[in-house]
Amino acid sequence: MPEIDGYQVLEKLQEVGHPASVFVISADIQTGAIQKTQRLGAKDFIQKPLSADRLHQVLYEHKFLESAPVELIQPKALSQRLISQTEIKDALAEMSNLAMGQAAALLSKLLGAFITMPIPKVNVLEVSELTMAIQAAHYDNRVSAICQGFMGKGIAGEALLLFHDASYTDMAKLMGQQLQHANNTRLEVLQDTANVLIGAMLSGIGDQLQVQFSQSHPVVLGQHANIGELLDSNASRWQRTLAIEINYQVQDHNIECDLLLLFGEGSLRNLASNLGYEVTQ
């Protein structure tokens, strides 16, 4: 929804006294997100991915259906659906959205704070286009970056975490750390954040693809650097790539980081195949 989000829709319904019964279906499974939808009048919260029997059960429990769900007969496996590169980007965005919800829930639990999550951006880009897009979004920020490779079943790539330097103080406080020994503590904060977000994202994506990713040792690409300098010095690591970009912010705190999942172009068909699609030319 380009203008308002789901919370604002619920607020508007309350403001006008609309009698609609609302069931929230979302990948954002943070405790705070579920509680907020309940405070705003939602009948129930259903975690994505949604299944027909789960929806039937919820509607039955709230007396919108008279009969309880019966065990569904699993359909026979269908041949893979042909899909364009534009359509597969939408499918990958939804896959990322589900995984992002899991990662945010873990980070929220770790920090005791609410994580705001926009819709993931998915694009196939040349490395020059990728670096230009990131620089345009963060032209005046100094960041630290950590990168970790991953691979499994013909799918390979790198996870790149860009952590805004202005976020260190608040992040350290939420993690119960003190920035007395600045360099060591900042590196620890960076590594801890990367472990949670990268690990949770790859786990969430792997579950959907039925792939268990193996991960290489994380590598610190740079600390407290201008984003342009950092990307230019590491551009040779990436070629034409499928980029999934996710921005995480912590509500009421000066904390922001960007997680990019960079898949080699050769992984696109295997990603699509594991989701049940075949990409057309």
Place 279 in a pLDDT band, splitting at 50, 70 and 90: low
Place 22 in a pLDDT band, splitting at 50, 70 and 90: very high
Task: Compare 231 and 16 and report the one with higher pLDDT.
Answer: 16
Q: Which two tokens stand for residue 24?
A: 């929230």
Lowest mean pLDDT among 18-27, 49-58, 223-232: 223-232
Tens digit of pLDDT for each residue in 99-147?
998 888 888 988 899 998 878 888 877 666 666 656 555 555 688 889 8
At 270 the pLDDT is 84
Tens digit of pLDDT for each residue in 149-180?
999 988 988 898 988 888 888 988 888 876 65
Place 236 in a pLDDT band, splitting at 50, 70 and 90: low
81-279 CATH, one of 3.40.1550.10, 3.40.50.10490, 3.40.50.720, 3.40.1010.10: 3.40.1550.10
- Per-residue pLDDT, averaged over 210-232, amounts to 78
Maximum CA extent, the chain: 63
Taking the C-alpha atoms of residue 158 and residue 147, their distance in angstroms, rounded to an integer, is 7
Contact 227, 134 (CB under 8 A): yes
Give rounded-to-5 percent helix, strand, coil for the chain.
45, 25, 30
3-state secondary structure 30-53: CHHHHHHHHHCCCCEEEECCCCHH
At 40 the pLDDT is 92
**Strand boundaries in 155-198, DSSP class E:** 155-164
Q: Where are the domains of the chain?
A: 6-61, 81-279
Tens digit of pLDDT for each residue in 69-101?
776 545 544 455 666 767 788 888 888 999 998
Beta bridge partners of 24: 45
3-state secondary structure 60-126: HHCCCCCCCCCCCCCCCCCCCEEECHHHHHHHHHHHHHHHHHHHHHHHHHHHCCCEECCCCEEEEEC
Taking the C-alpha atoms of residue 57 and residue 9, their distance in angstroms, rounded to an integer, is 25
At 254 the pLDDT is 92
At 127 the pLDDT is 62
Q: Looking at this protein, which amino acid is placed at residue 278?
A: E
Of 69, 58, 57, give the one whose Cα is nearest residue 24.
Answer: 58
Which residues fall within 8 angstroms of residue 110, CB to CB, at 6 or more apart?
175, 196
At 164 the pLDDT is 86
Beta bridge partners of 226: 142
* Residue pointed to by tokens 């977000």: 197
Task: Compare 266 and 257 and report the one with higher pLDDT.
Answer: 257
Q: Which two tokens stand for residue 45?
A: 């919260």
- Per-residue pLDDT, averaged over 224-251, amounts to 71
Global pTM reads: 0.76
At 10 the pLDDT is 92
CA atoms within 13 A on the CB side of 158: 20
Mean pLDDT of the chain: 81
At 92 the pLDDT is 87
Which residues fall within 8 angstroms of residue 186, CB to CB, at 6 or more apart?
144, 168, 172, 179, 223
Taking the C-alpha atoms of residue 185 and residue 181, their distance in angstroms, rounded to an integer, is 6
Q: Which two tokens stand for residue 88?
A: 């597969």
The topology (CATH level 3) of 6-61 is Rossmann fold (3.40.50)
At 78 the pLDDT is 43
